[in-house]
Amino acid sequence: MQKATYAPPSLLLASQFIFNTGFYAVVPFLAIFLRDDMLLSGAAIGLVLGLRTFSQQGMFLIGGALTDKLGGRKIILSGCIVRIAGYILLASSSSLSGVITGACLTGIGGALFSPAIESLMAEAGTQTERQGKRSRSEWFALFAIYGELGAVLGPLLGSLLTGYSFQYVALAGSGVFFVALIVLYFTLPISPSGNNKLKIVPWWTAFYQFRFVAFILAYSSYLFSYNQLYLALPVELRRSGGGEADLGPLFVLASLLVISLQLPLARFARRVGFTLVLPAGFLLLALSFFSVALFANEIPPDNGYRLVPAILFVTLLTLGQMLIVPVGMDMIPLFSRNRNLGAHYGALASMGGITVLLGNFLLGGQLDKALIPSSQAFIPWILMGCLPLISAFAMWFICRNVKATI
């Protein structure tokens, strides 16, 4: 019997856990460092975080195409090396240009290993589904759960080190990815060359499909919404009288929701179908922003209730994410017909990166209005919520069209 050429799903799940631990140990605290230590405005912080996200998500297309050509193992290991270099630069730089370069390097590292690991998970899930075992969508749900386990540990690790300085946080993140690099070097199977795939189906053919392009355009508001955990949530905490001490527990709340509810929601979504699930997920994203807008003009109470808007924001955003991500990831092979998966997953993430960069640049300055209660504090939250609201309506039409063709 021929040995399986796909990576074991258990190894991919563990890798996602390690990657998210290193990511969430650093990035949630970057906006606070830029505002409090480097004294940047909301617009400048939005631009820096947007550039970081664009350098990752916006470059996924390249990472996905390289995965199809060279195989997942080489690209994942290369991505770990680049992210380690980025974190070390963040830890050693005192200038804005150095911080931006380091942040972008961390993003480029993710642009290499993230589409590669998603592509390997799709291939492994397809194999197990054909064998009558766990379905591909359930593997992606587990993938999200393991990622959230890392998202629990990461902020706690970062919180322990924020009393020293952000530089120590960044060094800790580089250490996590160094461990990942060593482990994966010895455990990831050598991938077969993907040259023949690219000769038959070039990566850019992903954009020849009108329905796929419409889908990734509508889907891109998810990544913009999710990135507001790093840009907009610290602003709401500032308005309510909170700070970085509250940020870690809120990320833990999001992770606990995913860990406890992701698999049941994935099974529910599988029964209901993507035609209803994706619009509902984007509607929850929109409601997460609108819920904060209801409180933005109010002077916060001097007790624990001041965190109610932030808790509503994180809860609704996480529920929307749990509906959207496994279903959206599972739909990509429908568009690609299981060919050039890396390029298709890369295109999905790249469009999200572009949306984050433009959205943060255009709306980041608006968030300065929400730093303190005022008659205009609700405006940025309404504006941000309109993006996923538009996507909810768009997904309703797109998914009905896709369902009719499969």
Domains and CATH numbers, the chain: 9-404 (1.20.1250.20)
Residue 404: both structure tokens together? 């009719």
- Inform me whether the pLDDT recorded for 355 exceeds 80: yes
Asked whether 209 and 337 are in contact (CB, 8 A), the reply is no
Which stretch, 279-283, 300-304, 335-339, 394-398, has highest mean pLDDT?
Answer: 279-283
What residues contact 213, with CB distance under 8 A and at least 6 apart?
207
Phi-psi region of 339 (alpha: psi -120 to 50; beta: other; left: phi over 0): beta
Provide mean pLDDT across the span 195-224: 72
Query: Which alpha helices (H) appear in 273-307, and where do they start and end?
Result: 274-295
**pTM assigned to the model:** 0.75
Residue 404 pLDDT level (bands cut at 50, 70, 90): very low
Which stretch, 130-144, 189-203, 215-229, has highest mean pLDDT?
Answer: 215-229
pLDDT tens for 150-178 read 877 887 777 777 667 788 888 888 998 99
Provide mean pLDDT across the span 102-128: 86
**What is residue 108's predicted lDDT score, i.e. its pLDDT?**
93
**What is residue 201's predicted lDDT score, i.e. its pLDDT?**
47
**What is residue 178's predicted lDDT score, i.e. its pLDDT?**
94
With the C-alpha atoms ordered 332, 333, 339, 345, is the resulting torsion angle positive or negative? positive
Q: Where is pLDDT greater, at 370 or 210?
A: 370
Residue 27 pLDDT level (bands cut at 50, 70, 90): confident
Q: Where is pLDDT greater, at 35 or 398?
A: 398
Mean of pLDDT over the chain: 83
**What is residue 3's predicted lDDT score, i.e. its pLDDT?**
46
- pLDDT more than 90, % of the chain: 26
Could you count the other beta carbons within 10 Å of the beta carbon of residue 126? 17
- Inform me whether the pLDDT recorded for 58 exceeds 80: no
Distances (CA, A) of 26 to 103, 105, 364, 370, 395: 10, 14, 20, 24, 33
Residue 196 pLDDT level (bands cut at 50, 70, 90): very low
Please give the full DSSP string across 345-368, using - where no structure is assigned: HHHHHHHHHHHHHHHHHHHTGGGG
pLDDT tens for 287-344 read 999 999 999 998 888 877 889 999 999 999 999 999 998 888 888 877 766 566 667 7
